[in-house]
Amino acid sequence: MDIIGPVLVAGMTTGALYALATLGLSLVWGSLGMLNMAHGTLLTLGGYAAFTAASQLGWPVPVAVLAAAAVGGLIGALIFMLVAYPLSRRSPETFETTIMIATFGVALTLENIVLRLYGGQPLGQPLSVGGSISLGRFVLPWQNLVIIIAAIALMAATALFLARTKAGRAIRATAQNPDAAKLLGVPVARVYLQVLILSGILAGVCGVLVSSITQLSPSLGADPMLKAFIMCVVAGLGNLPGAIITSFALAIVEAVVQFLAGARWGFPALLAIVILVLIRRPGGLFGRVEMRRL
């Protein structure tokens, strides 16, 4: 059938974007117990940073993408240093709640700054590739291919970093047992800072990719953030491969439902899946209820 191809391409593309957004959110959530409500805003900032670099400053595309990564990483670092770290020092017992409220405040503030600077009207992201490759009757737009490849490459790089480097091992160790990590000499606060920078970098680039197939607007990151939250809940917290598989699977389900029943049924279908999964497995598909793991 002719429609299977386009539906699959759409599902894979949104799946790649969801997975990338989910990876950043899940890293921070799983290791600091911090649901970063400003994660979507980091996507937005990345999109606007690349827009500014490419179309206002005239920088070449790779540099514009690096600028987006840098802005994401920098804001991630500032969120840790100015908000998360002080809050966790002052009252560690209530941190998981207070940090949600605080980062929600950060998100509102930053989005309003974007609104002030760029206005509310949607802008076109200049970093997009036109054209498509056709394999027989199967048409694959370059833009979608670029998104899928870029997202997978970033996730693979992150996985390698976590699995193979000393810094990555320290991040996993700290997520699994912060007290034990401290006893071995790991400066845990610095590790958390690294996690927020990494998450911010992933979010910044993710924002560029999202805006390249939609448009730039101050609420650019809101939908990926919501979806990333859903993926984390369905997959179970802290299982990164599980979160990525879930992202692709649910995005394809969403695309199929949208095709068969109409676009407005995509999100209700996702929510129905969330409810079903949580009834059967409260810890998520891959998760264990009380254990954090990276």
In the complex, which residues of this chain contact another protein (CB under 8 A)? Answer: 166, 169-170, 172-173, 176-177, 179-188, 291, 293-294
Residue 164 or residue 280: which is nearer to another protein going by CB?
A: 164
Write down the least CB distance from residue 97 to another protein, Å.
20
Half-sphere exposure of 216 (CA within 13 A, CB side): 24
Residue 240, classified by CB atoms within 10 Å of its CB into exposed (0-12), middle (13-18) or buried (19+), is: buried
For CA atoms 85, 87, 91, 95, give the dihedral sign.
Answer: negative
| Among the listed residues 197, 203, 229, 152, the one whose alpha carbon sits nearest the alpha carbon of residue 48 | 203
| Cβ atoms of 196 and 4 closer than 8 Å | no
**Three-state DSSP class for residue 57:** coil
Write down the least CB distance from residue 188 to another protein, Å.
7
User: Which helix H or strand E contains 141, and what residues bound it?
Assistant: strand 138-141
Write down the least CB distance from residue 79 to another protein, Å.
22
Residue 11 or residue 168: which is nearer to another protein going by CB?
A: 168
Write down the least CB distance from residue 40 to another protein, Å.
28
Residue 204 or residue 284: which is nearer to another protein going by CB?
A: 284
Residue 71 or residue 232: which is nearer to another protein going by CB?
A: 232
